[in-house]
Structure 1
């Protein structure tokens, strides 16, 4: 075939791609207009382009590394939380975290007057505590408690901002801790106390409270694990049971009983707010330390509760107008010295180091305790010069040694203070003389037996010649034993002591309960030995009860909380007989004369008989008055802790007045009873062939050496 007549093809390759189809032109009768080609925008390469690209590249790098690191960290945290979760015990095992038990002290009537140890009133839950307390704690400590997983980033950021604004480090001051984190800290992050690992419990607690970044991280992990294992209410229950609320009270129940005398389920808004307010600084804000400061803090808590909708404006106004006040027992803080004495005298494993909750019933009479404190305060306010640093101590007890009241110093609301009634050993002075005459009466002398008061000296082996003098520096010739005691004459007391024998005097005083070392020389009769006020008061109680020894005691019964049967009973009381009852009744009559017209006349009571004895030591460093009525014995000591001499004070002065004021208040409402004393028969003839008191006296009569000594000393029956 021929191609003639056709156009020859082009000698080039066909286009690989077909040309784009053109849109059909609009039928307007005009040829289609071709659009001009679009121009590319020029690239602007200014000065900021390179830094911006570098920043973008850096952000992308950070993101690429960050999410990988974050994922690894999240995995590590998850593993740590899972491990901690597996180690957490049952919530019931976390409610009581005390290492020591509590000791609750009851008075003779069974009413609480003091607490010692770590007080724990019992387990409470969020369902059993007062809603006011529960809401106050949440409003104060962690308002987002029910919404966060155990750690509150908002709270932490806010705390850091406040710390930095106030010029502190980010972790100093406000911590932003949630209630869960605080509970974790109370649990010491699960680390139990081990005596072998810590020098003391205080070191262990300090380490648990330590704040650092590493510690905070562990705390956060522990909190997350707790949130995973326990419910919110269970965590809050642990917190309410373990938190320290001052005054030795651990947990809400103990604090409610300690401060308000009621259970944690019965607290009103004001009381719940006060307890919640203590969580910040329990020792400083405790109402027993400063009630006004505690009430001010509670008012802040009340306003927080109102702002967060837990209480109405009316409830808030009522709580602010009627702030919480202490219970009677907490307000009185009765028997601080007495409670310390009972705790120190009781068995250590049930008092100071107890791991159990112990109830101790004591001999304390709170009415008498207040009377004693008021009496001391009255005398120092009205009869002691202002600014005086002199101290005083008082002990009131029954004839069997049951201590009813005790004051160990002028500051009466104390705990753990130096107790001058039981710890201070001081020279007794003439207050010791009744034991000299008790020995003589036991040997057959009578209150009417005579002794010559005249210049008198003794050669003391190993020392110089010793010549005692009377306080008045006068001599009164032949006097009866009653007159010698009534006027507190020194020379007759020494003569009687030498006549009956110093060792026998030492034995009688020791048997009456004066356990301190007694002087071996002739000055023994003048009270140069040291003793405590409670020993001396107990010895005088032996005279009142008819001549039997007495062991002063405060503990009547000790039992564990929840048990009905006591583990131990009375720790003291009347012991063996020291002198015959007749001798004791005669000595009581002689001591009655001391109060009725002798050196102790300022102690005389207007409505009842009283007997006693004054005592003043050398340079008036100590002044005493001890005595008794038919119902109670009381001892008073006055002096300076550093042995500074008293100015113008003797036992017949201020101590006798303190004793008088105390016994007037103690005996209010008690019917007067006569003293159990034996008035002596009329004075016998100067010489009597056969003295009374059978065999012992016959032996004395038959001892020629003693007869010679009596003649030399001027003694007579």
Structure 2
């Protein structure tokens, strides 16, 4: 029987397990019933939404998805690039001990004759300190004023940057002009110039290099941030602060905390008090203008602000803060005095350039400066200008004090004594010497056998100068004094006898004696040489007088005693100055000293006389009183004084016998305080002169011969009564 007509059963596998109906609980039924109407209501609400709003929301959603997708991808790439940059910088960062001294130049520390520091030049670096070895007051002060979140951030402070931008905009500047919001780590990165070292071949100067390191552009800030992040990864917080405390410039030529502590307070960085630590921390913002050696009051005011921040941030108790405010930091005695600035500049300029002005090493120079004598000279200058010079006068003066061997003990190059790099009138000003030159005329004569008691005619006298015509010198008082001795002529500073003596011994001989005594400037060729028509510096003239005191031997003024590298005991070089070759015989020098003693005791230099000991010297006043001099010596020291205007304006009522002699007197009174009186190394002329009775026949014959010679040479010179002299007399 066929089954084709019958419906076949579908070929479906039987269920292994019978399907069981899941019985719903009443609660589930209720929840389902409750959800169903809500979903239906939402669909109805969506269908009822405004199509414009829906389109707008859809567009916003579309762009948000694009923006978000772009942002997180850019962010991821940026983060990766920053990480790579930080990693690269991290790999190039040097070890800690290689970055602590960041100076481009070395330093020069000058010691006085007692071995004490009195001046500093170059970039001072007192030695390496760490954040743990400096005074905690300094460490806390730096954090309080520069970066109070230093121990909490990762090298960059977004909050600090945002605050700085807001302040800059509020003050009308660009967002990155003015306040930078930099952390200590970022400042340290800038001090390291982001790893770029100074290359003389690449940069025009160190100033150009440093200016590039301080640039504040946006790109530079970004590099600075990356460098700071790398530093945070490489170094600990303590190490970063150590680098900062060693490399930061703190004014006064001091780089680093140790140099600043020694420079301003004469102590190490580990000994600083809260007030001193606050003052150094306050310098970091503007080290040059805030330096206590420039303006102590301003520096103390800044320190008071730092003390307040330290109190607010818990680094100082209320009592400690009040104590620091009541007793602000003061400069050390050496720093406050700022003595010997002119002297230090002179020593620096006279030493080898590669050990002084352009040294790359730390150098210690021992000098001849005596701080007591330096103070005496400065006080004398101040006293005279405050009490004897009219208020508002622009007149200047200079003082040099030295020993008989040329060792300079004090130097004042102008009325302002606390200076660095100023024009030094003691060493740089070439001025006519006037009658202060006359001792060299008589030195040449005495060395050739003349005597102080020899007589010469002081009368009308003219010389025909080739190329210039007739020249008739005149005495200061426009009078003629007849027959006078050489001693009398020098004592009263007569011009005509000086010219006659110079002509007699020969102008070339006078030039040679003056040059051998150390006057290296160009000397006049004509007969006006005898009256000081040549120019010289005060230190040259004072050194030449020292040669007279020491018995007739030349001296080279010097201030450098020895020069050594810091940390070394053996000097690299020693003094190159001192006593040189003999210029005139000792007897001639002693007799000339006696003549110059008469100048002070009885002649034009009486205002310079000291009350307790004999001294010798000579006044000098140039044409139209443009320069006034007094140079002289005791048995212990030689001192020279110059006075005048920088622009050659004539002095009013001033000659060498006036204010210069008084400045010399005030200086030497102070210099000799506590020193026992000593006699001058002098001797009167061998025969009797007009100052004593009786004269042996040999001396009469010698004098008569010299008089005859002088009369035969110079007896014919005349001027007409009332004739105006062609050259003003000099005294």
Alignment TM-score, normalising by the size of structure 2:
0.90
The residue number in structure 2 matching 1:282 is 287
1:486/1:46 CA distance change after superposition, 3 Å: farther
Per the TM alignment, residue 60 of structure 1 is displaced from its structure 2 partner at its CA by: 2.5
Task: Identify which of 319, 343, 349 aligns with 1:344.
Answer: 349
1:682 to 2:683 alignment? no
Shift of 1:615: 0.3
Q: Give 1:48 shift.
A: 5.1
> SS at 1:301's partner residue?
helix
The match for 1:296 is 301
Task: Give the match for residue 70 of structure 1.
Answer: 75
Report if aligned partners of 1:451, 1:714 keep a CA contact under 8 Å in 2: no
Comparing 677-686 with 622-631, greater Cα deviation is found at 677-686
Distance of 2:487 and 2:643 partners within structure 1: 26
Which residue in the other structure is 1:711 paired with? 712
Counterpart position of 1:354: 359
Deviation at 1:436, TM superposition (A): 0.2
Offset at residue 149 of structure 1 (A): 1.4
Aligned to 2:516: 511
Match of 1:476 in 2: 481
Point out the more displaced range, 124-133 or 161-170. 161-170
Give matches, 1:249-648, under 5 Å: 249-648=254-653
User: Is the 8 Å Cα contact of residues 499 and 713 (structure 1) preserved in structure 2?
Assistant: no
Deviation string for 1:444-502 (max 9, x for gaps)?
11110011000000111111111100010000001000000000000000000000000
- Aligned pair count? 679
Deviation of residue 713 (structure 1)? 2.6
CA distance in 1 between counterparts of 2:417 and 2:178 reads 36
- 8 A contact 2:146–2:183 mirrored in 1: yes
2:229 alignment counterpart: 224
In structure 2, stretches of 5+ residues that fail to align are 1-18, 28-32, 690-694, 717-731
Give yes or no for contact 1:423–1:532 (8 Å, CA) kept in 2: yes
CA distance in 2, matches of 1:259, 1:226: 31
Secondary structure at the residue paired with 1:447? coil
Verify: 1:123 aligned to 2:128, yes or no: yes
Query: In the alignment, what sits opposite 2:209?
Result: 204
Indicate the SS of the match to 1:627. strand
* Correspondence list, 1:645-684, <5 A: 645-680=650-685, 681-683=687-689, 684=695
Distance change in 2, residues 1:365/1:24 (3 Å): closer
- CA shift, 1:49, in A, is 4.9
The separation in 1 between residues aligned to 2:196 and 2:24, in whole angstroms, is 84
1:312 deviates by: 1.0
Q: CA deviation at 1:383?
A: 0.5
Query: Superposition pairs for residues 81-96 of structure 1, below 5 Å?
Result: 81-96=86-101
Match of 1:61 in 2: 66
Given the alignment, which residue of 216, 238, 245 partners 1:240? 245
Q: Could you tell me how far apart the structure 2 residues matched to 1:534 and 1:515 are? A: 11
Shift of 1:708: 5.1
149, 172, 181: which is aligned to 1:167?
A: 172
1:190 deviation in Å? 0.6
The offset of 1:41, in angstroms, is: 3.8
**1:55: how far off?**
3.4
Q: In the aligned structure 2, how far is the partner of 1:23 from the partner of 1:356? A: 96
The residue number in structure 1 matching 2:729 is none
Task: Tell me the SS of whatever aligns to 1:368.
Answer: helix
> Once the 2 structures are TM-superposed, how far is the Cα of residue 552 of structure 1 from its aligned partner?
0.4
The reply to whether residue 114 of structure 1 matches residue 119 of structure 2 is yes
How far apart are the structure 1 equivalents of 2:400 and 2:273?
Answer: 40
Counterparts of 1:382 and 1:187 in 2: how far apart (Å)? 53
Please tell me the root mean square deviation across aligned C-alpha atoms, in Å.
Answer: 2.1
| Conserved 8 A contact 2:456-2:710 | no
Structure-2 separation of matches of 1:480 and 1:712 = 18
Q: CA offset at residue 597 of structure 1?
A: 1.2
Any idea what the Cα deviations from partners look like across 1:591-615, whole Å, max 9, x if unmatched? 0010011011111111111110000
For the Cα contact (< 8 Å) 1:499–1:710, is it kept in 2?
no
Measured in 1, the distance between the counterparts of 2:594 and 2:512 equals 23
Q: CA deviation at 1:155?
A: 1.1
Please list the CA deviations of residues 56-80 of structure 1 after superposition, one character each: whole Å capped at 9, or x if unmatched.
4333322110010011111111111
Which stretches in structure 1 are left out of the alignment for 5+ residues?
1-17, 27-31, 693-699
| CA deviation map 1:625-648 (0-9, x unaligned) | 000111110000000000000011
Determine the structure 1 residue equivalent to 2:16. Answer: none
Alpha-carbon distance in structure 1 between the residues aligned to 2:708 and 2:571? 56
**SS of the residue 2:573 aligns to:** coil
Partner of 1:5: none
CA contact (8 A) 1:270 1:320 kept: yes
Offset at 1:21?
8.8
Q: Give deviations 1:308-355, integer Å, cap 9, x for gaps.
A: 111111111111111100000000001000000000001111111111
Deviation at 1:229, TM superposition (A): 1.0
Contact 1:602/1:657, CA 8 A, preserved across alignment: yes
Tell me, in whole angstroms, the C-alpha distance in 2 between the residues paired with 1:714 and 1:626. Answer: 33
Deviation at 1:505, TM superposition (A): 0.3
Aligned position for 1:8:
none
In structure 1, how many angstroms separate the alpha carbons of the residues matched to 2:50 and 2:680?
Answer: 118
Hey, what does 1:100 align to over in structure 2? 105
2:156 to 143, 151, 157: 151
Answer yes or no: is the 8 Å Cα contact 2:632–2:638 preserved in 1: yes
In structure 2, the partner of 1:215 is 220
SS at match of 1:359: strand
Q: 1:165 to 1:57 in 2, by over 3 A?
A: farther
TM (normalized to structure 1)?
0.92
Task: Report deviation, 1:710.
Answer: 5.7
| Structure 1 stretch displaced more, 160-169 or 558-567 | 160-169
1:465 counterpart SS class: strand
Q: 1:192 to 1:73 in 2, by over 3 A?
A: same
